[in-house]
Amino acid sequence: MTSEKRKGLLERLAEGPVIGDGSMCMTLEKRGYCTAGPWTPEATVLYPDAVRQLLREYLRAGADVLQTPCFYSSDGKLEYSDVKFTSAEINAMACKLAREVADEGDAIVCGGLSPVVSYIQGKGEKAVRKEFEAQLQVFIDYDVDFVLAEFFGHVEEIEICIDVMKRAKKPMGATMRIGPIGDMNGVSVEECAVRMAKAGADMIGINCLFDINTCLKVLRRMKKALDDADLHPYLMCQPLGWLCPEVEENFCGYLALPETPLGLDPRTITRMDAHRFAREAYEIGVRYIGGCCGIESHHIRAFSQELSKERNKQPAVNDLCPKLGAQLCQSLLPNIREKVKDKFWMDLTPASGRPFSPAISAPEKSATFMTK
C-alpha cells in the first residue's frame, strides 16, 4: 500500500480515535542507543536498524502514526549537546526510517518540531523562526503527512512555531509540556489551549512531563475552555509512562524526581492503567492518543485494544497478545488459568516488590529548565 492512497490525519480523526506511537529517546537509551541527559537522536544516523525496529514494534502494536524519531533535533540544541550531525542530517534519516516502516502497514508519518535554544537565549523572533524553518524544511522535502510542535513550555514560542508550520500546507498538531499550573510564564492551561487553537493548529493538547492522571485533569480544563470559546480543534495527548503525582505543581514534572532519568522503572504504568487512561481520555473528547517518555509498545497496544470498537480494528499483530488475560486459560499453572477474566486485572492493585520503597518521592528543588 502506498502512502498516497492512505487516509490522512484529519480523515482518520473524523472517523474515530487515532493511536500514535510511544517513547523513542528514553526507550532507545534503555536499549543502548541514546545518551541520557542530552537525549539527542543521532541514533537515526548511527544505528538506523535499532530505530527502525522500535518504530516497527509501535506499528505492530496498533499505532496509526509513526513520528519521525528526531526529538530535540534543532541545530542550536545539537550544538549545545556537542552532536556531530546537523538537524538536516538527523531529520532526513528520521523521515526515511519512519516512512519505510509506515509503508509496512497502514500508518502515516508525523514530522515533529521541538523548542529551540534561540528562544530561551532571547535572540528574538527572527532567530527563533529561522531555527523552526530549518527543522520544518526537511519535513517538507520528505513530504510527511502532518507536522507537530511538541514539548513546548511557553505558549508564546509554540505560537511562533505553529505560524512557521503553516508553510508546510499540511495538517498541524501542537502540544505543550504543561501541568495544572500552566506554562513557564504562568499562562493558564485554559489560555494555552485557546491560543494554540486560535494560532491555527488542527489538533492541540499536551505531551510529556506529567503522568496519565495529571494529564486527564489538564485535558478536562482544556476541553471546557475550548468549548467556552467555541473553538473545536481535535484534542490530543501523549502522556508519560510513569506515575508521578507528586510533581503536578512543578514546572519540570517528572524531571524533578530523584529517580530521573535512570531509576524510573518502578513507576512504570501497567497495561491496565493504559486501558483506563485511553477510555477516560476518549470520554473527555481526546481523539489522538499516543505516548511520550516511558510509554512502550505494550502500552500502545493497550490503547489500541481499549478503543478497538471505536476504531473498528485491532492492532496489526494481535493473535499472540489479545486484550489482558484472554489466553491465560492455556497456562499449565492453575492459579494463572484463574486469571483469564479482564475484571481480575482491572481490579488489581499491583505491588512494587520493594519492602522499603516510599510511595512517592520529594521533588528536587534544584530542578529547572533553562529560562530566558
> C-alpha grid cell for residue 252?
519540570
Closest to 300 in 3D by CA, of 328, 321, 327? 321
Q: How far is CA 273 from its chain centroid?
A: 16
Q: What topology does CATH give the domain 3-347?
A: TIM Barrel (3.20.20)
pTM of the model: 0.94
The DSSP element (H or E) to which 113 belongs, if any, is strand 108-113
Decide if 211 contacts 262 (C-beta within 8 A).
Answer: no
Alpha carbons 339 and 328: distance in angstroms, whole number: 7
Alpha-carbon distances of 285 from 47, 274, 353, rounded to whole Å: 38, 17, 36
Decide if 305 contacts 17 (C-beta within 8 A).
Answer: no
Residue 2: the pLDDT is 45
Alpha carbons 92 and 68: distance in angstroms, whole number: 9
Handedness of CA 159, 208, 70, 272 (dihedral sign): negative
Decide if 226 contacts 197 (C-beta within 8 A).
Answer: yes
Alpha-carbon distances of 156 from 123, 133, 195, 196, 327, rounded to whole Å: 14, 17, 9, 9, 50
How many residues in the chain? 372
Residue 1: the pLDDT is 43
- DSSP assignment of 263-300 equals S-GGGBPPHHHHHHHHHHHHHHTEEEE---TT--HHHH
Residue 180 sits at φ, ψ, to 5 deg, of -60, -25
Dihedral of CA atoms 144, 145, 151, 153 in degrees, nearest 10, equals 110
- List the 172-176 sheet strands across, edge first: 18-19, 286-289, 234-238, 203-207, 172-176, 146-152, 108-113, 65-67
Alpha-carbon Rg for the chain in angstroms: 20
- pLDDT tens string, the chain, 372 residues long: the values are 444 578 999 999 999 999 999 999 999 999 999 999 888 889 999 999 999 999 999 999 999 999 999 877 666 666 656 777 887 888 899 999 999 999 999 999 999 999 998 999 999 999 999 999 988 999 999 999 999 999 999 999 999 999 999 999 999 999 999 999 999 999 999 999 999 999 999 999 999 999 999 999 999 999 999 999 999 999 999 999 999 999 999 999 999 999 999 999 999 999 999 999 999 999 999 999 999 999 999 999 999 999 999 999 999 988 878 787 778 888 888 998 899 988 999 999 999 999 999 999 999 988 888 766
Residue 207 sits at φ, ψ, to 5 deg, of -150, 150
In this structure, are strands 234-238 and 286-289 parallel, antiparallel, or unpaired?
A: parallel
Alpha carbons 140 and 142: distance in angstroms, whole number: 5
Residue 74: the pLDDT is 63
Handedness of CA 24, 29, 35, 38 (dihedral sign): positive
Residue 30: the pLDDT is 96
118: Cβ contacts below 8 Å, ≥ 6 apart: 76, 124, 127, 128, 130, 131
Decide if 74 contacts 134 (C-beta within 8 A).
Answer: yes
Closest to 38 in 3D by CA, of 85, 86, 73? 73
